[in-house]
Structure 1
Amino acid sequence: MGDTRATVLKTIADTLIERAEALPSRVLQVAVTGITASGKSTLAQELAQILTRRGRSSVHIAVDDFHNPRDLRHRRGRDSAEGYYFDAYNYPLLKKLVLEPLAPGGNLIYQARGFDLETDAPVEEALNKANPGDIFLFAASFLLRPEIVSYFDYRIYYLYRYRF
């Protein structure tokens, strides 16, 4: 990892830890969003590793595990930009299984995955228990959509894969 990238990641991690410490009675939900294939998941994974090394409990949620079934995702055409925006993700399921349980007043019991792209089928997994002070990093395009943006305490918009 280059010195500049390490510095940027450290700065983001410092900010997230500071923000989590300011909200000690709840989970910090962080959106890592931006254009497709920009490196959002890589950034979220790197941040989770740094946070863990620094003693902070962190969880990376791949929102790709909350897609809609293929027939719904591709109903406007496989390469449709409108279809990608409106039909790719199952936001109600993401809200039900993760965002709402982790939100203030939620029960902190969440399911990390809701859909398997390979099998094109819903998944049911063991439930997990979050703890106040945990930092959750969500990675996907379109996390600034009106129906979910208010769940995030902090938003990172990653425009492009820049090798710094």
Structure 2
Amino acid sequence: MPVRPVSPGILVEELADIVAGAPSGRWLRVGVDGPPPAGPHDLADALVTPLRVRGRPVQRVRADDFLRPASLRLERGRTDPDAFYEDWLDVRGLTREVLDPLGSAGTGRILPTLWDADRDRATRAGYVTVPDSGVLLLSGALLLGTGLPLDLVVHLEMSPAALARRTVEADRWTLPAYRRYADEVDPPMLADVVVRVDDPRHPALVA
């Protein structure tokens, strides 16, 4: 596949054009998927202002705020890569509280955060209403292959070597989960836009 290097600034502008121009219903649910070293949260944050400049209201949500309680998430231990892959994300809660309300029959009323994983308790956040033509920017890891109803997905791809090199020592136990993700889901095949970020300072768009 052709690969086109771009600067980080141009990447953000081109992605904002893609998102703003994407066909949608009342709302558009966008996922920015990638492991932490790829910077999915940073990229989603960077898209907020350019999308608003293009006339689209934006609501940011992090998948990290929709993890399951520790009693379920860590049932197989704190560093089990299979549990991290299969059990950490509260897919039902994220779908129920965020994605379904922004579907074709939704109300637009969503819960931006559900669970504080550090304190292991509900965030008690209030509901917010996403305006018509609004864009949800959901960022996180291992989002594809879970059944999340997303309208457009940007996948940040890293080679296994780059991911291993850029993953901090405390998180290296997660690497087998990302290998499973690549083998079982093949996220570049499912995503609408693929960006290679072996070096986040020098991204490249995959055509």
> What's the TM-score once normalised by structure 2's chain length?
0.71
Runs of 4+ in 1 over 4 A off after TM superposition: none
Corresponding position: 1:156 with 2:154 = yes
CA RMSD of aligned residues (A): 1.5
Find the counterpart in structure 2 of residue 14 from structure 1. Answer: 17
- Counterparts of 1:1-164 in structure 2, within 5 Å, are 4-19=7-22, 22-23=23-24, 25-148=25-148, 151-160=149-158, 161=197, 162-164=200-202
Q: Distance in 1 between matches of 2:135 and 2:114?
A: 20
> What is the deviation of 1:61?
0.5
Question: 1 or 2 for the larger relative contact order (CA 8 Å, sep ≥6)?
Answer: 1
**Aligned mates of 2:11, 2:82 — CA distance in 1:** 33
Q: Deviation of residue 52 (structure 1)?
A: 2.2
Offset, 1:70: 1.5
AA matched with 1:153: D
In 2: Cα distance, 1:111 partner to 1:63 partner? 12
CA spacing shift, 1:74–1:37, aligned 2, 3 Å = farther
Q: Structure 2 regions of 5+ residues with no counterpart? A: 1-5, 159-196, 203-207
Aligned AA (2:112): A
Q: TM-score, normalised by structure 1?
A: 0.89
Which of structures 1 and 2 has the bigger CA Rg? Answer: 2
**Structure 1 residues without counterparts, runs of 5 or longer:** none
Tell me the CA shift for residue 4 of structure 1: 1.2
Aligned residue pairs, count? 157
Percent identical pairs in the alignment equals 25
Please give the alpha-carbon distance, in whole angstroms, between the structure 2 residues aligned to 1:122 and 1:135: 25
